[in-house]
């Protein structure tokens, strides 16, 4: 993982000092609430229902155990002993005191962390594939590029006051695990026929009020031009994006209203005028940043560990966990492991300070002192020796993080919702809990098979409900919370005909439901699916793609009436 230079450290330290001064001026009455609001948001600080909420950046999801222990310390010292991992691989503290936030940021800076641009109308934390660098299907490792983007976007003078927030995702694998098609900019690192590295550039995807799958505006951008091209896109957006209506201000609306062809023309003209200028990347610059990454060390091991294979043969529970929570690794004898933060009675993504420390100890023992955060609100150990899997599994069982629900209905993705968030129309966590409990039986979950269930408490879609195979959205009807249900959405699904992988936005099945109806509605959707599937490996989302939403709709509303 990337190690700060003295230069990186200085920028973060100076940002803390700047925000400390801003906070002091605000508390002294010299900086109005309105003016301060924009500044604090760009430092990750919301003022929420009960207290401020501080969102800490976890750049492209990478974390070391020193940082995780610092989170634990902060949670205990400044908060209520726990924190929440978000769908954008960040961490949120829900109860800090405003006056103490500069101190928290200073603590974070001691372990090379910050909250810069985790909110506000600016370029946010870049996200990537949780298996970056280790996935067997990886073509280009996106991590160095993600760091280059992090540096470029940090305190960029031209793009600090955009029309709206701006999110970049980058993937380097054949299977897109970074949802690049539903970001403001999605980058797919790839190689051309000559073997040169470049990027497919996708613009104007997004969820929220107007869910749209992005448009490819450049099939292959040679890597040297990455920053110049990003600046071209951002400049067009900054100048022409709508500022009259915050619901129409994202880049996707500009791309849609101007048409993708016109938008591409603008970007190309801008790029034409700026390419080969000072933002052209050199191999030396890329190498310099790449050299700051520590690399995991690998032993020479056989492809499969015989002891673990034997153990799995004699232990169904372990075998089940291995099937769902252990993932292939490009290095023989290694595996990646997902630690499930989808546990009974605990909000998705939540973790206590004690648990953070126990996870840190496990990461030190089993994973070379590092871990990753996924956009599904789980944690990943990326470099576990296969022969250690049984031992790790036992430890995770003790933590309740060995629930074998990754990719299954139990792996519910949910925003904090109305329990914490000011924007929410409805609660998310109790809905997640009710569904979790209804489908708790693992045999049932395994029978249902792969299923993404996503819950958002409002149309901002932090729970990514549009791309859930089943999506649940909290809506406000006459000051009451109701829930709208979509089905058939997917982060990636194979398109019929072309075979290309693409994101898909779910379809609304009909009028919304009361909170207590939701577990039954989901149950009816599942039962409909089980009745319709033709093979065991035909997933829920595949059946919706094959037969449409009608049979689901009929059954659900027949039961409701």
Partner 1 sequence: MLKLINRYGVVDAQGTDGWITYTGDASAIPVGAKVLLPLTEFREFAGTWQKHVGTHGALGVLLTPADDPSLIAGELGKLALIAIDFPAFTDGRGYSTATLLRERYRYIGELRAVGDIQRDQLFLLSRAGFTTFALRDDQKVDAALAAFNDFSSYYQHAADRFVNPDVLPLAA
Binding footprint of partner 1 on the chain (CB under 8 A): 5, 7-8, 10-11, 14-15, 17-18, 22, 31, 35, 38-39, 121, 151-152, 154-162, 235, 238-239, 243, 273-274, 277-279, 288
Q: Minimum distance between the CB of residue 53 and partner 1, rounded to whole angstroms?
A: 21
Q: Which is nearer to partner 1, 280 or 301 (CB)?
A: 280
Q: Minimum distance between the CB of residue 302 and partner 1, rounded to whole angstroms?
A: 43
Q: Minimum distance between the CB of residue 246 and partner 1, rounded to whole angstroms?
A: 11
Q: Minimum distance between the CB of residue 257 and partner 1, rounded to whole angstroms?
A: 16
Q: Minimum distance between the CB of residue 39 and partner 1, rounded to whole angstroms?
A: 6
Q: Which is nearer to partner 1, 227 or 380 (CB)?
A: 227
Distances (CA, A) of 481 to 211, 429, 434, 439, 459: 21, 14, 16, 23, 13
Q: Which is nearer to partner 1, 120 or 457 (CB)?
A: 120
Cβ neighbours around 56 below 10 Å, total: 24
Q: Which is nearer to partner 1, 228 or 524 (CB)?
A: 228
d(CA 192, CA 458): 41
Q: Which is nearer to partner 1, 21 or 476 (CB)?
A: 21
The owner of tokens 């090379």 is 112
**Helices and strands in the chain: count of H runs, count of E runs:** 18, 22
Strand-pair partners of 197:
191
Q: Minimum distance between the CB of residue 279 and partner 1, rounded to whole angstroms?
A: 6
Cβ neighbours around 380 below 10 Å, total: 25
**Which is nearest to 381 in space by CA: 343, 336, 418?**
336
Q: Minimum distance between the CB of residue 20 and partner 1, rounded to whole angstroms?
A: 11
Q: Which is nearer to partner 1, 258 or 279 (CB)?
A: 279
Give exposure, 521-546, as e/b (b: 16+ Cβ within 10 Å): bbebbbebbeeebeeeeebbbbbbbe
Q: Who contacts 92 (Cβ-Cβ below 8 Å, separation ≥6)?
A: 53, 54, 55, 56, 83, 84, 85, 86, 416
d(CA 130, CA 89): 9
Q: Which is nearer to partner 1, 34 or 534 (CB)?
A: 34
Q: Per-residue DSSP letters for 396-439?
A: HHHHT-----TTSTTS-EE--GGGT-SS-SS-SHHHHHHHHHHT
């Amino acid at each position: 993982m990337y190690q700060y230079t003295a230069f990186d450290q200085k920028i973060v330290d100076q940002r803390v000092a700047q925000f400390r001064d801003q906070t002091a001026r605000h508390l002294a009455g010299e900086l109005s609430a309105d003016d301060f609001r924009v500044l604090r948001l760009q430092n990750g600080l919301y003022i929420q229902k009960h207290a401020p909420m501080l969102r800490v950046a976890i750049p492209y999801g990478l974390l070391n155990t020193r940082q995780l222990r610092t989170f634990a310390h902060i949670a205990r010292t400044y908060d209520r002993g726990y924190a929440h991992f978000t769908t954008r691989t960040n961490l949120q503290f829900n109860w800090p005191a405003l006056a103490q936030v500069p101190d928290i940021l200073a603590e974070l800076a001691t372990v090379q962390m910050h909250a810069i641009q985790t909110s506000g109308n600016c370029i946010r934390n870049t996200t990537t594939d949780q298996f970056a660098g280790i996935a067997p299907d990886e073509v280009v490792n996106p991590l160095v590029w993600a760091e280059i983007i992090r540096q470029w976007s940090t305190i960029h003078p031209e793009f600090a006051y955009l029309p709206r927030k701006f999110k970049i995702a980058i993937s380097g694998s054949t299977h897109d695990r970074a949802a690049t098609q539903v970001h403001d900019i999605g980058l797919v690192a790839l190689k051309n026929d000559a073997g040169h590295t470049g990027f497919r550039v996708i613009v104007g995807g997004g969820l929220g009020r107007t869910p749209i799958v992005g448009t490819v505006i450049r099939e292959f951008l040679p890597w040297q031009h990455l920053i110049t091209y990003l600046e071209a896109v951002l400049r067009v957006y900054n100048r022409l994006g709508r500022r009259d209506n915050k619901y129409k201000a994202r880049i996707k609306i500009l791309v849609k209203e101007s048409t993708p062809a016109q938008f591409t023309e603008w970007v190309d003209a801008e790029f034409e005028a700026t390419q080969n200028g000072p933002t052209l990347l050199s191999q030396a610059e890329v190498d310099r940043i790449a050299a700051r990454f520590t690399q995991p060390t690998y032993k020479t091991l056989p492809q499969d560990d015989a002891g673990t294979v034997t153990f799995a043969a004699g232990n169904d529970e372990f075998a089940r966990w291995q099937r769902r929570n252990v993932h292939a690794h490009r290095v023989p004898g290694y595996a990646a492991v997902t630690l499930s933060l989808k546990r009974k009675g605990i909000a998705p993504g939540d973790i206590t300070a004690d648990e953070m420390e126990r996870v840190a100890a496990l990461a030190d023992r089993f994973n070379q002192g590092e871990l990753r955060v996924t956009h599904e609100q789980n944690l990943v150990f990326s470099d576990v020796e296969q022969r250690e899997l049984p031992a790790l599994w036992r430890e995770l069982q003790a933590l309740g993080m060995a629930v074998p629900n990754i990719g299954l209905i139990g792996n519910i993705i949910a925003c904090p919702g109305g329990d914490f968030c000011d924007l929410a129309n409805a609660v998310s966590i109790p809905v997640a809990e009710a569904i979790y409990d209804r489908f708790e039986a693992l045999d049932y979950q395994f029978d249902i098979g792969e299923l993404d269930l996503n819950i958002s408490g409002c149309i901002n879609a932090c729970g990514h409900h549009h791309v859930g195979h089943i999506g649940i959205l909290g809506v406000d009807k006459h000051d009451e919370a109701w829930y709208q249900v979509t089905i058939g959405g997917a982060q990636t699904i194979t398109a019929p005909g072309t075979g290309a992988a693409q994101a898909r936005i779910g379809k609304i099945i009909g009028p919304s439901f009361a909170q207590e109806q939701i577990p039954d509605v989901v149950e009816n959707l599942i039962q409909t699916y089980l009745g319709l599937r033709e093979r065991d490996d035909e997933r829920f989302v595949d059946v919706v793609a094959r037969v449409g939403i009608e049979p689901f709709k009929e059954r659900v509303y027949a039961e409701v009436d």
